Chains A and B, each alone.
Chain A
Amino acid sequence: EADIYQTPRYLVIGTGKKITLECSQTMGHDKMYWYQQDPGMELHLIHYSYGVNSTEKGDLSSESTVSRIRTEHFPLTLESARPSHTSQYLCASSEWGRAEAFFGQGTRLTVV
């Protein structure tokens, strides 16, 4: 059973609000990822981290930001939410030297 958790599972929020999506894993994985998935579409990497104080932008441009102050925690923040940010956000982690990725349950974000 994967020990990676995302909160909240569902979020409906008004335009202009600041939001933080939480992702935590208890497996001690150095590598963590955020993916964005629009309905019926493939996942796209928006941020990744290879360890504490390491963050990089992914393949898909995103207005969100991330931080990695602790190994187990990789929050994603939107400073000012817009309807175009409506999507599902999936967090994942993996271990150095192993390819298997563990995914969180996802956060389905709706900005109205």
Chain B
Amino acid sequence: KNEVEQSPQNLTAQEGEFITINCSYSVGISALHWLQQHPGGGIVSLFMLSSGKKKHGRLIATINIQEKHSSLHITASHPRDSAVYICAVETSGSRLTFGEGTQLTVNP
């Protein structure tokens, strides 16, 4: 069993829909990261969370430390949001353990 589990693995939505991607982890962490990977392979860091909730534009990330769970929400989704979204947890020594990613496709 992976230390970091994401769901769903694949998600197809229509433009404008509200999207939620979930991440559960089984280890103690110091922080959780949400990353976005585009088809060309480049990765962008979206959020780093250690508690609560963060918002950036149409993106919202929440974390519940007690339940070892985080969610990434995209409001008013757009085709340019199509990418792989990766959850990564940071453990001791600033090591990152990654989930397998969620492939999001937003159709116009």
Which residues does A use to contact B, with CB under 8 Å?
Answer: 31, 33, 37, 41-45, 48, 59, 88, 90, 92, 94, 99-106, 108
Does B52 belong to the interface (CB within 8 Å)? no
Q: When chains A and B are docked, how far (Å) is the Cα of A100 from the Cα of B48?
A: 7
Which residues does B use to contact A, with CB under 8 Å?
Answer: 2, 4, 30-31, 33, 35, 40-45, 48, 50, 86, 88, 90, 94-101
Beyond A42-B86, A42-B101, A43-B86, whether A101 also contacts B96 by CB under 8 A is yes
Secondary structure dominating the interface of B: strand
Contact B40 A105 (CB under 8 A): yes
Instruction: With A33-B96, A100-B33, A103-B43 given, name 18 new contacts (CB 8 A).
Output: A42-B4, A42-B86, A43-B86, A45-B95, A48-B95, A59-B95, A59-B97, A90-B43, A92-B43, A99-B30, A99-B31, A99-B90, A101-B33, A102-B45, A103-B35, A103-B42, A106-B42, A106-B43
User: A41 — which chain B residues lie within 8 A by C-beta?
Assistant: 100
Contact B41 A90 (CB under 8 A): yes
User: A42 — which chain B residues lie within 8 A by C-beta?
Assistant: 2, 4, 86, 98-101
Q: When chains A and B are docked, how far (Å) is the Cα of A103 from the Cα of B94?
A: 15
Nearest-neighbour CB distance to chain B for A61, whole angstroms, equals: 16
Q: When chains A and B are docked, how far (Å) is the Cα of A103 from the Cα of B38?
A: 12
Contact A103 B40 (CB under 8 A): no
Beyond A41-B100, A42-B86, A94-B94, whether A108 also contacts B33 by CB under 8 A is no
Secondary structure dominating the interface of A: strand
Contact A101 B40 (CB under 8 A): no
Beyond A41-B100, A42-B86, A42-B100, whether A99 also contacts B41 by CB under 8 A is no
Contact A105 B42 (CB under 8 A): yes
User: B35 — which chain A residues lie within 8 A by C-beta?
Assistant: 103
User: B86 — which chain A residues lie within 8 A by C-beta?
Assistant: 42-43
Q: When chains A and B are docked, how far (Å) is the Cα of A45 from the Cα of B96?
A: 8
Question: Which residue on B lies nearest to A58, using beta carbons?
Answer: B95
